[in-house]
Amino acid sequence: MQPCGPTALIPSESFMPSSQTRSSLPPIESIESVLAGLGAAGYIASRPIATAIYIAQHLQKPILVEGPAGVGKTELAKSVASWLALPLIRMQCYEGLDEAKALYEWKYGKQLLYTQILREKVGTVIGETDDLASAIRRLDAFGDIFFSKTFLEPRPLLRALEQPQGAVLLIDEIDKSDQEFEAFLLELLSDYQVSIPEIGSITAAVAPLVLLTSNSTRDLGDALKRRCLHLHIGFPDEKLEARIIASRVPGIEARLLAQLVSFVQQLRALDLKKQPSVSESIDWARVLVLLHASVLEEQTVRDTLNVLLKFESDIDAARGHVAHLTQKAQQAVAMEG
Amino acid sequence: MSDASPRHFDAPRAQPSEPLRRFLQVARGAGLRVSAAEGIDAARAVDLVGYHDRTLLKDTLALVLAKTPEEKALYDEAFELYFRRAEFAKAASLDNAEAPAHAGQAGAADRADETGSSGPAPLLQLLDSDDRATLASALESAARAIGIEKIRLFTQKNLYIRQILDRMGLREVEAQIAALRASGGADDDERAQRLSARLERLRDAARDHVERALLLYGRAETEQLRERMLKSARLANIDPSQHERIRVLVRKMAKRIATRYAIQRRKRQRGQLDVRRTLRRNMGWGGVPFVTAWKQRRIEKPRVMVLCDVSGSVAWVAQFLLMFIYALTEVLSDIRSFVYTSSLIEVSEILERNGIDAAIAQVTDTMAFGTSNYGTSLEDFEAGWMREVTSKTTVIILGDARGNDTDPRTDIVERLAQRAKRIVWLNPEPRSAWGSGDSDMYRYAPYCTPARVCSTLNDLERVITDLLDRAR
């Protein structure tokens, strides 16, 4: 028997599973600074939202944001990224999303091409050996060249972990993905690391700030919820909504703004299939500004109702209330003024 | 890169402080599911924000502890209840600070409570001086000392009141009062009366305290007991005042079933290779199939048609059956529902549009409480909807099969059984009553797989689980 001498293992690249060496983003000072920072980025946040960002950043926990469509869940992630000047990495979830599309994929083509091109080179390297065993040992000495980082195509999740300055990772509409994918996310969310069988586990250089959004089309698993902070964003109250619209539609007149907000708030109290959300009221405000409206008038409201409501049945239902609601909105604003 | 260990492992600070630990217990009692990991997160979050700002504290804990809209509501309630109480205690101690004359006594009371030694009866002094703030805080600490947070059932109330008062030194005061009464002097008598009046007030305060504690800590247990009772009680016998509770319960049971069955929707078919997926998966090996992928079959959700008798006592069961079925839309497809007494109408649309609670009231109103006629109802069904019954449809018929001596038309049921996947007959009457009087149950039973007694929530749950099991 031939003694197996220690083979000189040359690390193919410095891409080895890193040990627990993770630093964090520079800490956010206070909740007020979150409010101010998001405000500067064009996002008017309520206090609970700012608290969530603050806590998430300090505890290094992902936030699961739930709420009706169009209240600014995705926008929140974008604004946080632009405020902290971090890259935003977004992953849209859908049914059938899997590891290969979310985490990484091997560059099969490149691997094949390289083996073809390097065939001769490989031949010369193992050419001088006389038996199979020593040829294999020789090959072993090169490590897993073809399963190294050169041949790895990073997908959003891996990219988020690799950002040297950290990143904001937005996992959008997690409720649309399969249950298996949800389970797959658990490792990432609790330890900010992922496992690639051929390489080992990869830990984030800087833990990214992770936001998950959900429209509650299905109930998420308890395991996922346990790992996240849970933030519910509902429809904003009148004051906040007015501030949001004012920041998004700068040209709007104060009186129109107040009437519009009052009208939308009343509309939400009706029994509708889909209530108008903040994004719809912003669109509506833009439309009204385009039409040079300075006050809310019944006819204009009737003509532009389709901006606010997206179902024929809702528009029909609301039409009967338009006169009444417009009047009430005008009165409410007049009383305040 | 720094070599600082990740913050996850900042162990020493992750221990929940006393008030937080109690609140977590309260939150669990209120029905929130707080895991140990979440408890640690809560502690870390509170370390970060502190206790000084109430709104901030509330927002913060809401992020960590309450993870659904329902839980948020429960959480809000528990938070208000618990921290109002905490504030009350703080206010009491502030009173003490403002009146330094009593500070010594308060300290004495606390010490006595902590050590459990009697010493010079502090309660007697407190009652004499009628120092309510100190009494309140003494009450608080006595309650804590006897472990008030262990209270679970309302039957334990008197026991805990007694224990709190004993701890505060009730016996000595009672002995003192007895002695004063025995001595017979006018002054002594007056003092005895004053003392017993104040003692009575203290007793009331203790009762309030215990009741609040029961509300905080005991709710889960009491709820569980009540749930167990409601689940096994006959639906027809349950008092209408409990119906709201049952609705909540039905929704909860349905959700549990739904999550159990929503997971496995695909089944592997061994033996049939999925060529496309196999090639894709093995691209890394140049297409040599090391790993095989098999074809999968999506499991179809059961299609359900529900026929409910809404006459007489069956109506209640019908309501809960429909509620159950419609809470399961995630795992059932194409639910069609019908109600009948002497004629049959489809109510699927009303139910979907108006929500179960409102719709059922509406339906039972329009159908009135007539006498049932199974023959004519089945004729209606055959004329209108028999064509839509396929071999994938499960037909659920709910009724007591008492047609008031009319023609039962078992031939229609026979034809229905041939077309449908199966018929499940649910009868709220006990089996012993089947076939007695005008009951045609045994005439229908041969066509049903199975015919079952269904009169309690537990029965309902069993029926539904069975329905879903057979779909696999």
Per-residue model confidence as pLDDT tens digits over B34-50: 888 889 999 999 988 88
Same structural domain, B294 and B403: no
Same structural domain, B289 and B373: no
Same structural domain, B311 and B213: no
Out of A106, A218, A226, name the one closest to residue B37 (CB).
A226
Cα–Cα distance measured from residue A265 to residue B273, given in angstroms and rounded to the nearest whole number: 56
| Residue range of the domain that includes B458 | 303-471
CB contact under 8 A, A55 and B49: yes
Q: Does B41 touch chain A (CB under 8 A)?
A: yes
Asked whether residue B424 is domain-assigned, the answer is yes
In 3D space, the residue among B86, B58, B53 whose CA is nearest the CA of residue B72 turns out to be B58
The pLDDT confidence band at residue A68, using thresholds 50, 70 and 90, is confident
Asked whether residue B241 is domain-assigned, the answer is no
Nearest chain A residue to B330, by CA: A218
Per-residue model confidence as pLDDT tens digits over A189-247: 888 888 888 888 888 888 899 999 998 777 788 888 889 999 999 899 999 999 999 98
Using a CB-CB distance cutoff of 8 angstroms, which residues of chain A are in contact with residue B38? 226
Asked whether residue B310 is domain-assigned, the answer is yes
Mean pLDDT of A74-95: 92
Each domain of chain A, given as residue ranges in start order, spans 31-99+157-232, 104-151, 238-336
Amino acid at B452: R
Same structural domain, B216 and B281: no
Q: Does B45 touch chain A (CB under 8 A)?
A: yes
Same structural domain, B334 and B357: yes
pLDDT at B14: 54
Cα–Cα distance measured from residue B278 to residue B293, given in angstroms and rounded to the nearest whole number: 5
- Quote the minimal CA–CA distance from A337 to chain B in Å: 30
CB contact under 8 A, B64 and A225: no
CB contact under 8 A, A179 and B6: no
What stretches in chain B show pLDDT beneath 50?
1-13, 88, 91-121
Same structural domain, B15 and B97: yes
In 3D space, the residue among A219, A241, A240 whose CA is nearest the CA of residue A230 turns out to be A219
CA-based R_g, chain A, Å: 28
Same structural domain, B318 and B356: yes
Half-sphere exposure of B116 (CA within 13 A, CB side): 6
| Reported ipTM | 0.79
Same structural domain, B123 and B29: yes
CB contact under 8 A, B4 and A23: yes
What is the full DSSP assignment across A118-187? THHHHHHHHHT--SHHHHHHHHHTT-SGGGSGGGEEE-HHHHHHH-TT--EEEEETGGGS-HHHHHHHHH
Same structural domain, B56 and B139: yes
Cα–Cα distance measured from residue B165 to residue B199, given in angstroms and rounded to the nearest whole number: 10
The CATH number given to A31-99+157-232 is 3.40.50.300
Residues 6+ apart with CB under 8 A from B244: none
CB contact under 8 A, A51 and B59: yes
Same structural domain, B466 and B346: yes
User: Containing H/E element for A211?
Assistant: strand A209-214
Out of B7, B255, B283, name the one closest to residue A108 (CB).
B283
The tokens of A30 are what? 């206070």
pLDDT at B270: 61
pLDDT at B372: 78
Q: Pick the residue with more confidence: B16 or A15?
A: B16
Nearest chain A residue to B46, by CA: A55
Half-sphere exposure of B465 (CA within 13 A, CB side): 11
Using a CB-CB distance cutoff of 8 angstroms, which residues of chain A are in contact with residue B49? 51, 55
Domain boundary among B276, B298, B320: B298
CB contact under 8 A, A232 and B286: no
Asked whether residue B244 is domain-assigned, the answer is no
Same structural domain, B208 and B294: no
Domain A238-336 has CATH 1.10.472: yes
Number of domains in chain B: 3
Q: What's B460's domain CATH number? A: 3.40.50.410
Nearest chain B residue to A63, by CA: B63
Question: Torsion-angle region of residue A48: left (phi > 0), alpha (psi -120 to 50) or beta?
Answer: alpha
The pLDDT confidence band at residue A24, using thresholds 50, 70 and 90, is low
Domain boundary among B246, B279, B298: B298
Compute CA distances B158 → B154, B220, B460, whole Å.
9, 20, 38
Using a CB-CB distance cutoff of 8 angstroms, which residues of chain A are in contact with residue B264? none
Same structural domain, B389 and B273: no
Nearest chain B residue to A116, by CA: B286
CB B360 within 8 A of CB B319: yes
Out of A52, A112, A191, name the one closest to residue B286 (CB).
A112
CB contact under 8 A, A226 and B38: yes
CA-based R_g, chain B, Å: 33
- The interface residues of chain B toward chain A in range 228-257, judged by CB-CB distance below 8 A, are 255
